[in-house]
Copies of this chain bind each other. A is one copy, B any other.
Amino acid sequence: MKIKYELLKEEKNCKARLGRIKTNYGEVDTPMFMPVGTRAAVKGLTTDQVKECGSGVILANTYHLWLRPGEDIVNEAGGLHKFMNYNGPILTDSGGFQVFSLAKNKKKDITEEGVHFKSHIDGKKLLLTPEKSIEIQNKLDSDIAMSFDECPPASADYQYLKNSIERTLRWAKRGKDVHSNPNQALFGIVQGGPHEDLRRFSAEETVKMDFDGYSIGGVANDGESKDDMYKAIDFSVPYLPKDKLRYLMGVGEPIDILEGVIRGVDIFDCVLPTRIARHGQAFTRHGKINLNNAKYARDFTTVDDTCDCYTCKHYTKGYIRHLITVGESLGGSLLSIHNIRFLIKLTEEIREAIKEDRLLEYKENFISEYTKK
């Protein structure tokens, strides 16, 4: 069966929603943060370690798995869940974002057929089309697939965006027409930059195609401002149906998650918690800290004394700083566990706050503590 979203409660004082997703791999609650397992692995962590962070849905990248090991190998393994040993729901992206951001020398040729580009690994000429993206995702056998969309840069002008949205709508239709995995939901993607009329047009036309859920895209490319992100959400959400999931793609800063939820978003993903971890950075209630800082060398307290993650139960800032400083990969893994748990715990607290209609108050308190110097 396909995933099924159930709206449990709406917050009284904002657009936040409490929901539940039924999947073939158990039920998960929303709002939710999804850790990213780019190449069928959340970097440096076993799937048990990811689960121990409280993960529900995790994300894997179609582009990367298409190139290596190839969707046929994943399919022969019995699909992505078996291949990577994750006994929970998995979402795959369309590959579009990576094509636009990773193509060799960032060169690509966008045609009506699809996107021609060269592999970032070996320079091989490749073509990704809406049909190919869906075919790959069907074979990967994720629980939620994404339509193939164009991801225009933040600097794109109005007319370019308008044409791009129209093509993305045609691509969405083509992808939907070939989608054939009965256990896989397919989401449409709303684009339109910070423009109210374009977001509305994109949302309304996408919703007409009746997807299983809707993503808000174009908010996490290089160059978008926070203000543009909030506009993109505000101008999209009113046109999305209440009984379907809403996914804000590529967003994982704690404050952005809060701002997204308040505007009506259900699920988020981002490489941020694992990427900053490998560089020695950790989320805490009092903002991000950088363990490369010499002041942590003799600090034998945990990363965040309010945190219940494996890392905070067993390891100290001084030890993790040592690992990061000498280049031991365990340092990045331990901070990844902490950072992922931090975001998941944030969404757990958000859900509690929604239940009691006190999310706006929770947000004020969180931001005040997080940004206090």
On chain B, the residues within 8 Å of A47 by CB distance are 314
Indicate whether A77 sits within 8 Å of B40 (C-beta atoms), given known contacts A314-B46, A314-B47, A325-B68.
no
**Roughly how many angstroms separate A316 CA and B46 CA in the complex, as a whole number?**
13
- A residues 92-141 in Cβ contact with B at 8 Å: none
Interface string of A68-105 (1 = CB under 8 A from B): 11000100111000111100000000000000000000
Contact between A41 and B330, CB atoms less than 8 A apart: yes
Interface band, chain A:
35 or more
A300: nearest chain-B partner, CB-CB: B77
Give, as a whole number of angstroms, the nearest-CB distance from A348 to chain B: 23
Indicate whether A298 sits within 8 Å of B76 (C-beta atoms), given known contacts A84-B319, A85-B315, A322-B40.
yes
B323, B326, B329: the one within 8 Å of A329 (CB):
B329
Contact between B39 and A314, CB atoms less than 8 A apart: no
**Roughly how many angstroms separate A64 CA and B327 CA in the complex, as a whole number?**
12
Interface string of A17-39 (1 = CB under 8 A from B): 00000000000000000000001
- A residues 308-339 in Cβ contact with B at 8 Å: 310, 314-316, 318-319, 321-323, 325-326, 328-330, 333-334
| Other A-B pairs, 14, CB within 8 Å; known A40-B319, A46-B333, A82-B300 | A39-B322, A39-B323, A43-B329, A44-B330, A46-B330, A68-B326, A69-B318, A73-B297, A73-B298, A73-B318, A77-B300, A77-B316, A83-B316, A83-B319
